[in-house]
Amino acid sequence: MSSSFTSLQELRELVKLVNTSFTGIEKACATQKTDLPALNGTFSWQTEGILNDPEVEKASSVITAAASQLAAAVRSPMLSLFAVANQYFLSVSLGISLKTHIPEILREVGSKGLHINEIAARGQSGINPDKLGRILRLLATNHIFREVMPDTFANNRVSGSMDCGKNVKDIIADPDSKYDGTASAAAMLELSTVDGTVSFADISKMLFDPKYANSGKPNETAFNIATGSDLPFFEWLSEPAQAVNNKKWATAMNSFDQFTAQDVILKGFDWEALPKGSTVVDFAGGVGGQAMILAKEFDHLNFVVQDRAPIIENDATKFWKEKFPEAISSDRVKLQSHDIFSPQPVKNAAVFVVRAITHDWSDEYCIKFLKQLRAAATSNTQLVVIDNVIAYACPDSQETLDIPGAAQVRPVSPTPLLPNFGTASAMTYLLDISLLAGLNGKERTVAQFADIYQKSGWKLVSVHADGFNYHDIKTIAVPV
């Protein structure tokens, strides 16, 4: 641990980690005969591919964690604290850049950039150019956009990744459809920075209000305090008045496919070993994207895709008819409307797949729907939950690490880094608080997954982590 080092020794070790990891990235680039995409270059998914290389991903995490720890060690504590206290302004500034279509405007003018007066005019938002320039300068200071000359800004690789790809004139003519037909992660960024920040600001009210403080209900959250709505977030999102936000949400969910390898669902569980004709239930599976990947790969299996009636009857039906109609016509795949808290109608499932669902709910609600699955399970049914798994910021000696695969959820970090790789893993912890604010949901440790399984009649038997991150980790359980 870092406590065994003097301050200068710790700094020296951190610098060594950066240098060693950089050498690893150089070797990976040489092997693949490519280069890392430049920070001030143009964003494209093709050039980002090298970052998905396992060795580069690991080296990147080490460098990110070490650089952050270096900064924390050498910077005045008060400067660090004030920077954190004012991060809200950075989030809001990012949202303003999206609302005024800056990434798209700057894409159309290229690397030479555009003066703030012209940016404001092209965006037709009515925003004051001087104030917009100050917003963009804060972002550029944080490596989002570039200030190429005084008051003249251009995209860099980071800001370019927010570009939805549409013509600016078309966006301005119909801003509500800006993200329609795209796979832009900017839709989620806009929801988080513009439409969602109001609920984040009310987390403190949620935590100190007697009604909300100990509640696990999905409609007793910071989001409900902020909006005054009694509806859980997803029901609120389905209201006619939220049609635009609902479209953004759907686009944001689809955009995550850009960040996740399509074959992740295939790994960590022996689908091939399931007997011919076995039924796999894609529980709360949306349109059934994961089931489709499995159905195309394993033609000896049958599938049931379950979700709320509007999703099944409209989106899922269209999705399968367009992309894999023969699976529906042959009856290999069934689309079934289902409320997750109602009794499970499929009684002969070989596997229940639950992907990116548990983190949306508090423990008490997870236990409710897991009990419904347990009641419908046979003695041979397996539960495959695919979700984020969070790690502690200290060494973990819990008994769950004896479960096969649990210790590999996160590789051991090199000394003197934090055991959870610090800010290199920050996204999962930020998402955890976002889930708390909006849904009363939570990201869980391996031990916490084991606990909700035990309380709902399941037993955690193995864990599979694919890649160097906390995402799409499989926890596999069997009936008790």
Q: CA-CA distance, 34 to 48, in Å (whole number)?
A: 11
Of the candidates 101, 359, 464, 471, the residue annotated as catalytic is: 359
Q: By three-state DSSP, how is residue 342 classified?
A: coil
Query: Would you say 145 and 136 are in contact if contact means Cβ atoms under 8 Å apart?
Result: yes
With beta carbons less than 8 A apart as the criterion, state whether 291 and 305 touch.
yes
Structure tokens at 372: 């419904």
The rounded distance, in Å, linking the Cα atoms of 340 and 477 is 18
Residue 315 C-beta-side C-alpha neighbours within 13 Å: 17
Paired strand residues for 149: 152
> 312: which DSSP letter?
I
| Rounded Cα gap, residues 211 and 221, in angstroms | 10
The C-alpha atoms of residue 49 and residue 303 are separated, in whole angstroms, by 32
**Cα separations (Å) of 117 from 126, 132, 319?**
11, 9, 44
Instruction: Please say whether the beta carbons of 452 and 41 come within 8 A.
Output: no
Position of tokens 């990947």?
293
359 has catalytic annotation: yes
Helices (H) and strands (E) in the chain, counts: 22, 10
Question: Contact 363/216 with Cβ under 8 angstroms?
Answer: yes
What distance in Å separates the CA atoms of residue 284 and residue 166, rounded to the nearest whole number? 32
Residues 6 or more apart whose Cβ sits within 8 Å of residue 30? none
> What are the catalytic residues?
359
